[in-house]
A and B are shown apart, each in its own frame.
Chain A
Amino acid sequence: MKKWIPVIGVAALVAALGVWHLAAGKRPEWTTSSPQALAEFQAGMDSTMKMYTGEAQKHFEKAVQLDPDFLMARLELLLTGNQKGEYRKDKLKALVESADLDRLNPRERFMVERLKAGIEGRRADADKILDDYLAQHPEDPYALFEKASVLWHTGKLDEAKKLFQRLIKVAPNWVLAYNSLGYIAMQLEDFEKSEENFTTYRFIAPDQANPHDSLGELLNLTGRYTEAEKELDAALATKPDFCASYNHLAWTHLLEDRPEAARQDLQRLSREEGCATWVNETRCMVDLWAPARQHQWKQVLELAKQDDCLKDGKLGSGPGGLYAYTAAAMLGDNELCDKVEAPLEKAIAKEGKAPHLEAVLSHLQGVRAAAAGHYVKAAKLLRKADEGLTFAGSADGLFKLYNQACLAEVLQKAGDASGAVAVIRQVRRVNPKMAQSFESGRWRPLGV
């Protein structure tokens, strides 16, 4: 009998550990007394993950109605409102300050404390709270996602990539991680990997618009317009009010040299409620595209003024602003050019170090120099712009390609044919169609 005692002891210990593990695993993730509220909250989080902000907000509202003390639901409701442009900092601040942290579980406590630090402008504290929590809970997907996102947005791409990869090991179906990884891969010019991530994202969430849209962006950038159109159509079929996809689809059609189709996209976009912020930018792009391609700068400038493409001197995220600026430069409208450059210079001065803004400014200055016939200077500025620009998304990526085409054109003008060829080779590596268009002479971005 004695020899069985250790065996029985070990078996009992294993059983106890198993029971403890099961019991520990059953603790609720979110603190609420209402199961219905919890279900609504989960649905809201799922919608957030799908980037369906409106639906998310509805779920969070319902969750708050079901359990008014459900702090996380109230916070998410306010944060979602922020994304919809209804940010109420005071309410958020009041809520986090009045929160009873003792009632919350560690993850909720961490989220509230970090948010509070953020609201109060204590960015270092917010980062420390995140780091401390992550050190204690290295496999918490929420914390991993937050940290990876912070790293990504601060330009630490490799670190961000590693953390997102860790996140998908912990939670293989955390779709936004694939989305982020796809964009990071684009930035790192690993388009295959980017496609892989977006494809995986699309596989997990084929019923969501965003994976199709993200993939469409990539395909636009890489010149696979037919596939891009298919994906963007799928995105819109999935969710007709997914505004960005109209813009991207219009872009696809423009790149395919189908301006009429782009105009139809614009019309569809205009019909969608809640897409107002996208309409103007898309219109600028659609309207200015053809005259800009034909170097009809006067028409470009007129249309730009008509569409208010440089509202308050801001370029916007689409090509409309760029075309308007180029037209101004080509037509010698220094006042307008200065008006566009000034806020950039101001922002750069404020940020201290802003590679993207500096690159954009260099591009603008390069275009202006080219327009003035200072091709060597222009080339230098455009090359500098190229170094600062990235392929992060189709807008940024296509801008980078456009800048490279400008550089090649300027180099040709400066008599550096081999330099131009080398630059176009870079373009071809990303978007062969765009490179071919340039090489065939059908397209010159500046027409100098």
Chain B
Amino acid sequence: MGVMIGTRWRQILVLLVPGILAFLLAGLSIADMFLPKPYDGVVLEADAPGRLVVRQVVAGSGADVAGIRPGDVIVGIDRDVLDSPANAAEILNHHSIGDRVPYLVRSKGHLREVLVKMGRRRIGGTMYLVACLLGFSFFFVGLFVLIRQPRLPATRVFFMMCVLFLLFLVCRLRPASYSWVDSFVLTTGTLALLFLPATFLHFFMIFPRPIWEWRRDPLALVAGTLARRGVLLPLLYLLPAAVYVGAVTRAHMRNVALALISGAPAANWWVMVVYMLLGLGALAISSRWLPDPRQRRGAGLVFLGTVFGVVPFLVLSVAFPSFLNTERFLFYGVIPLVLVPLTFAYAIIRFQLLDIRVILRKSLMYTITTALVTAAYALGIASFNWLFRGTQLAAAPYFPLVFALAIVLLFEPLRHRLQEPVNRFFFRERSRLQTAMEEMGEAFTAQVDLTSVVRELVRRLPELLGLRFAALYLQKSSVLERAAGPSVLPEQLPAMPLLNDFLTRRGGLVRVEQLAPLEMLSSEVEALSRSLSESGVEVIGTLTSPRRFLGLVLLSGTAGQITLEWEDLRLVRGLLQQASIALETGTLLEERTRQAELERELKIAAQIQASLLPRQLEVATGWRVAAACHPAREVGGDFYTQLPGAHGGSRALVYGDVSGKSIPGALLMMAAHEVLHALAIAHPEPGELLDLANRRLHTLRHSSSVLSRGSFVALGYIACAPEGGSLRYSLAGQPPPLKRHADGRVEELLMPRHRIPLGAFPQGGYRVLETPMEKGDVVLAYSDGVLESMSPSGEFFGVERLMEVLEACPGTPEEIVSQVLEAVESFADGRAAYDDITVLAVSCCRADRMCGDNCETRTGGNA
């Protein structure tokens, strides 16, 4: 994005620099007119090199009083015969305001000498004021278009055209006097005039598409070839300059006066005529044969703007003054020029997603406000002049300059003040739209109902923006389903991450034809783009939350054209972002509700599961038992229980650990629990019991769609001999129990050879091992969750650490269970347990006889 912004500004800056220079030059040219220099009131003919022909005399000026009239020639000033206006300027600079200077004037063929009183300079008449306003309007319209669409070549050419127009109107039509500033400014205006047709031709050749890209005419082919070789533009822009230099050189070599028409030699006018004809021809071709009807309309509009704007200007403002020596119609030639920036800007922006209506209104409003402010200041100036007339202050040479500076400083604030109410008045429709869209945005943020959001979006967008329709597609798994919109649109669209990325990078909203670069990369996008275009979709927008892509919004204009302006686009983008957030919030709320339900259910499941664990463990007299089970989640896969023992009245302990956690683990645990209990009644013999349970669980696993293929149950079986002295055990996937002898030694009990978890394989073969138990001996059985407990540094608890804990804890089974659990908890140091933990401790109170009163049987619990 940063790179994109950088490129955009670079493109703008490359053009802005000359544009701003031109703007400054035009501004300085006007400012120069306010400097307190002695001025005779003579406005010179700009096209009479070497002669000072009077074009106009400012009413009431020294020249006017002296009887100098338009058409007269100033031959000499202050006893010097003049050879150039610069010569006159140099002479006049030696005088002060109020001096009476002798002039030698040729009037109607006779020379006469008159005395001219030097006065202050005044800016030109209404025509020049209009020309200045028009010139600056050109500049601002061009600047506006450039900033909006800096990447379009047509925009850049258009901006240069506007800059040249500014220079021509402000500089070339300036009431020229004698100073070097005048000649410099006039020359600049002439240069602008020379290059203006080149920009026209350039623009016409590339707008709306380079003509050589779609035409096969010989001329288009030649232009295309030259363009590809990079010589078209240099040729186009240097030819007028070359012709100018050639004409001047030729005249100089032949020692003849160069006839100028509005500052340019006749040869240049022929070049201009050819350029204009070629340009208009190219434009006519575009408006007639361009494949896209909208582009044809745009080219046609520009054609009309040129014909009705430029042709009257060339005839009335250039040809008439030059050939017929009359400026009567100059004003009527300048006014239609306003069509050029407006039609051109309209055409550029209309076909590039922006609404010219706003530009039109903004330009117009700006011009009106500026005119109002100018009129106010003119009134102010007149009042001041009237007030201070005849005073010393008015006679001060810097009075007009200070006054002009004050005007410059006050102009913008006052214009700004006026602009706001004017905007409010003229753009109230837009203001209403903005308010409505803000309200809609607020409604979105308050909505949690997805349907409401969708309905609001699809119903109000067309209503507010004057669209034909709006449609919404929401992501459902791998496709986009139409949630709202007309039936002409497909029910489903393929979800394309490429498209989503593109839309996100472009700010979330693009015209369908702007997908062109993407169409080159993906045939799917190409097909989608074509399909949407055929359905009348003009703009495509994305709904994306920070977490994911949500869907697409499609918009179609009323008249086959989206009339969204830059600010509107920003609003729509904001609206889509709010809609995205609303959609995402709705989804999250649904998910949260579902999760709460699940959690509640899990809690119930946990309670059920906990209720399965025996409240009290009884194995046999003389044995003391303690157990605890800590599930890692709400519901776990570990359990322990007691079953009928192999000997009458005896009890056996089993502790299990099912693979999988949460609900599936819990379900399997319950299944294993019930299977073991059911089988133990008829088959208490541990080997048989385990074999049968294995077969049953294996069958269950294969027949269930819930249980995965990896579902099995690790089980440990412990039975204490009622007569004491030994403990029988069997293992099916559980780690070997530890035995702490009365003397404190800790060892791992032997493991049976066949110890496959239950349900893993169909075959059985579980064997029962026996270990002698002396008084004080303790056997600690545990699930693998104990060993796999992990410290924050990622270290496993392990069997060695467990043995150490057991060795250091010579207490009762309850104390041992408690110590082990504490040790594990301390080791994990707050880290959540990955697996359920089950610990079971059995100690023999008396080895040779039944345990007495001091030997109790205890049970642990589901901690």
The residues of A with any CB-CB pair to B shorter than 8 Å are 168-169, 172-173, 192, 195-196, 199-200, 202-206
Contacts and interface: CB of A to CB of B under 8 A. Distances in A.
30 contacts: A168-B81, A169-B83, A172-B81, A172-B82, A172-B87, A173-B81, A192-B109, A192-B110, A195-B110, A196-B106, A196-B111, A199-B104, A199-B111, A199-B112, A200-B75, A200-B81, A200-B104, A200-B111, A202-B113, A203-B75, A203-B76, A203-B79, A203-B81, A203-B102, A203-B104, A203-B111, A203-B113, A204-B76, A204-B80, A206-B102
Nearest to B103: A203
A173 B80 CA distance: 6
Contacts of B75: 200, 203
Given A200-B104, A203-B102, A203-B104, A195 B80 contact: no
The 7 A-B pairs with the shortest beta carbon distances in the complex, nearest first, are A172-B81, A203-B104, A199-B111, A196-B111, A172-B83, A203-B76, A204-B79
B111 to A, nearest CB: 4
Contacts of A199: 104, 111-113
Contacts of B81: 168, 172-173, 200, 203-204
Contacts, number: 41
Interface residues of B, number: 16
A206 B113 CA distance: 11
A192 B113 CA distance: 16
Contacts of A202: 113
Nearest to B113: A203
A200 B102 CA distance: 12
Q: Is the interface of A mostly helix, strand, loop or mixed?
A: helix
B75 to A, nearest CB: 6
A196 B112 CA distance: 9
Contacts of A173: 80-81
Nearest to B79: A204
Given A199-B104, A200-B104, A206 B79 contact: yes
A192 B83 CA distance: 21
Contacts of A206: 79, 102
Q: Count chain A CB atoms within 10 A of each CB in B80, B87, B111 and give the residue with the most.
A: B111
Contacts of B102: 203, 206
A25 to B, nearest CB: 16
Contacts of A204: 76, 79-81
A162 B79 CA distance: 23
Given A200-B104, A203-B102, A203-B104, A195 B111 contact: yes
Nearest to A172: B81
A273 B495 CA distance: 118
A204 B83 CA distance: 14
A196 B83 CA distance: 16
Contacts of B110: 192, 195-196
Contacts of B79: 203-206
A173 B83 CA distance: 10
A328 B561 CA distance: 110
Residue of A168, A169, A195, A204 with most chain B CB atoms under a 10 A cut-off: A204
Contacts of B76: 200, 203-204
Interface in B62-109: 75-76, 79-83, 87, 102, 104, 106, 109
Contacts of B113: 199, 202-203
Contacts of B80: 172-173, 204
Contacts of B111: 195-196, 199-200, 203
Contacts of A200: 75-76, 81, 104, 111
Nearest to A174: B81
Contacts of A203: 75-76, 79, 81, 102, 104, 111, 113
Contacts of A195: 110-111
B101 to A, nearest CB: 12
A444 to B, nearest CB: 34
A173 B81 CA distance: 6
Nearest to A202: B113
A202 B76 CA distance: 11
A234 to B, nearest CB: 12
Nearest to B106: A196
Contacts of A169: 83
A360 B87 CA distance: 47
A327 to B, nearest CB: 41
